[in-house]
A = this chain, B = another copy of it.
Amino acid sequence: MKLQNQHHRTIWVDEQNPEQVCTFDQRLFPFQIEILQLRTLEDAAFAIEDMQVRGAPLIGATAAYGLYLAGLAAVKTSNPSAFMSQAADRLRRTRPTAVDLFHCIQRVVQALQGKDDPNQIVQTALATAQAIADESAEQCRMIGVHGLPLIEAIAARKPGQVINVLTHCNAGWLACIDHGTATAPIYAAHDLGLPIHVWVDETRPRNQGGKITAFELLEHGVPHTIITDNAGGHLMQHGLVDLVIVGTDRTTRQGDAANKIGTYLKALAAKDNGVPFYVALPSSTLDLNIRDGVKEIPIETRSEDEVKYVWGWKDGQIQQVLTTPAASPAANYGFDVTPARLITGLITERGVCAASEEGILGLGF
Which A residues fall within an 8 A CB radius of B?
Answer: 30-31, 199-200, 202-205, 207, 210-211, 214-215, 217-218, 224-235, 237-238, 260-262, 264-266, 268-269, 272, 294, 299, 307-314, 319-325, 327-333, 335-337
Contact = CB atoms under 8 A, between A and B. Distances in A.
A199 to B, nearest CB: 8
A237 B264 CA distance: 10
Given A204-B204, A319-B314, A226 B261 contact: no
Q: Please name the 4 residue pairs, one residue from A and one from B, whose CB atoms are nearest each other, closest first.
A: A230-B262, A312-B321, A234-B336, A30-B325
Given A200-B328, A230-B262, 12 more contacts: A204-B229, A210-B307, A214-B328, A218-B325, A225-B328, A226-B329, A227-B330, A228-B332, A229-B262, A230-B336, A231-B331, A314-B320
A313 B321 contact: yes
Decide if the interface of chain A is mainly helix, strand, loop or mixed: mixed
Contacts of A266: 265
A262 B307 contact: no
Chain B CB within 10 A, most for which of A261, A264, A324: A324
B262 A269 contact: no
23 contacts: A210-B323, A215-B328, A227-B330, A227-B331, A228-B261, A228-B332, A229-B262, A232-B265, A233-B262, A233-B264, A234-B335, A235-B333, A237-B294, A238-B294, A310-B312, A311-B323, A313-B321, A313-B322, A313-B323, A314-B321, A319-B321, A320-B321, A321-B321
A299 B240 CA distance: 14
Contact of A324 (B211, B235, B324, B331): B211
Contact of A328 (B224, B230, B313): B224
Nearest to A203: B230
A255 to B, nearest CB: 16
B237 A202 contact: no
Contacts of A312: 309-310, 321-323
Contact of A307 (B202, B322, B336): B202
A215 B322 contact: no
A261 B238 CA distance: 13
Contacts of A308: 210, 226
A204 B224 CA distance: 19
Contacts of A232: 265
Contact of A325 (B215, B235, B299): B215
Contacts of A299: 234
Contacts of A238: 294
Contact of A268 (B214, B228, B235, B265): B265
